Structure 1
Amino acid sequence: MDGYQIVEDKLNELGIPFEIVEHEPALTTEQADSFIEGIEGVRTKTMFLTNRKKTEYYLLIMDDAKMLDMDEFKEKIQANKVRMASSESLMEKMGLPPGVVSPFGLLNNKDKDIKVYFDQAIVDEERMSFHPNTNEKTLFLATQDLFKYLEAIGYEYTILDV
């Protein structure tokens, strides 16, 4: 079963409505945004991060236009050092290639060992958009339904001001 189908099946199972936009593969955030121009919903970026020793993994979801201050983030989560996780770690933990990271990759995380964080600036938005385990589609869903999805698959999340 392909990565998108797993996402669609889980959202349908949970009774979570969503809107899907199909498009050519999006290789950059700017390109992805151009494919969904005019559709209501915050454009997100999801970063897969790790600590120095690769013993902890973090998924940070924020507005795609915002820059992350890694030093500030590591202080807030009380980690020694935080950096982008390698493509190998991404594939191992979420079964995804770079450029496709989203909360839907958590469906592939058998160990449930990824900590999920949201930037405070986006949690009051009505809808969010993500790649649903493929960069050939963009999925829109209500923010509250995203939280419902995370809880249903066994993930807690933390809201931070980053």
Structure 2
Amino acid sequence: MSQKQQVLDHLKNLRIEYKLLDHPAVFTIEEMDQLKITEHGAVCKNLFLRDAKGKRHFLVVIDKDKQADLKSIREQLGCTRLSFASDERLQHYLQLQKGAVTPLGVINDSDAAVEIVLDSSLEGKEQLGFHPNDNTATVWISFADLLKFIRTNGNTIHFIEM
């Protein structure tokens, strides 16, 4: 079964309503803009980070139009210096490839080791767009349902101001 189908089945099992938009593979927000995917709702940037010792891993989810200030994120999380995690770490923890990073990847994090960091400005949004672990589609769900999806897996959730 494909990663995409696993996510869609999990959404259905959790009784989470979603809309699915299939599209050509995209790797950047700019490519999503060009295909007008971003006109359907709030698309998010998803950054996979690690702390200085590589002991903690974070998936930071912010609005596509915001800049990620790693120093501010570090201060709000109370952790050591942050940097982007390697493709190998991304594969190890979330079984995802670069370009398909998404908080829906927690479905592959059986140890709930990755901490999810959500920009509080996303709270209450009804249409957030994420890849369903495959960058040839975008799934639209509400912020409340995103929380439900993450909490069901047991990952720690942090809220920050960006």
The answer to whether 1:38 aligns with 2:39 is yes
Q: What is the distance in 2 between the residues matched to 1:58 and 1:21?
A: 27
The answer on whether the counterparts of 2:20 and 2:137 sit within 8 Å (CA) in structure 1 is yes
Structure 1, unpaired ranges of 5+ = none
TM-score, length-normalised on structure 2?
0.94
1:72 alignment partner in structure 2: 72
- CA shift, 1:89, in A, is 0.2
1:18 alignment partner in structure 2: 18
- What letter corresponds to residue 38 of structure 1 in structure 2? E
| 1:56-109 residue CA offsets vs partner (Å, 9 max, x unmatched) | 001111001110111111111111110111000000000011111111111111
SS at match of 1:72: helix
Q: What is the distance in 2 between the residues matched to 1:108 and 1:146?
A: 15
The answer on whether the counterparts of 1:47 and 1:61 sit within 8 Å (CA) in structure 2 is yes
- CA shift, 1:33, in A, is 3.0
- What letter corresponds to residue 39 of structure 2 in structure 1? G
2:128 alignment partner in structure 1: 128
2:98 alignment partner in structure 1: 98
2:119 alignment partner in structure 1: 119
Q: What is the distance in 2 between the residues matched to 1:26 and 1:140?
A: 16
The answer on whether the counterparts of 1:33 and 1:43 sit within 8 Å (CA) in structure 2 is no
Q: Provide the identity percentage.
A: 28
- What letter corresponds to residue 11 of structure 2 in structure 1? L
1:4 alignment partner in structure 2: 4
Instruction: Go from structure 1 to structure 2 and tell me whether the alpha carbon gap of 1:146 and 1:95 turns closer, same or farther (over 3 Å shift).
Output: same
- CA shift, 1:37, in A, is 4.4
- What letter corresponds to residue 77 of structure 1 in structure 2? L
- CA shift, 1:27, in A, is 2.2
- What letter corresponds to residue 139 of structure 2 in structure 1? L
TM superposition outliers: structure 1 runs of 4+ over 3 Å: none
The root-mean-square deviation of aligned C-alpha atoms, in Å, is 1.2
| 1:33-72 residue CA offsets vs partner (Å, 9 max, x unmatched) | 3331432x21101111101111000111100111011111
Structure 2, unpaired ranges of 5+ = none
The answer on whether the counterparts of 1:60 and 1:117 sit within 8 Å (CA) in structure 2 is yes
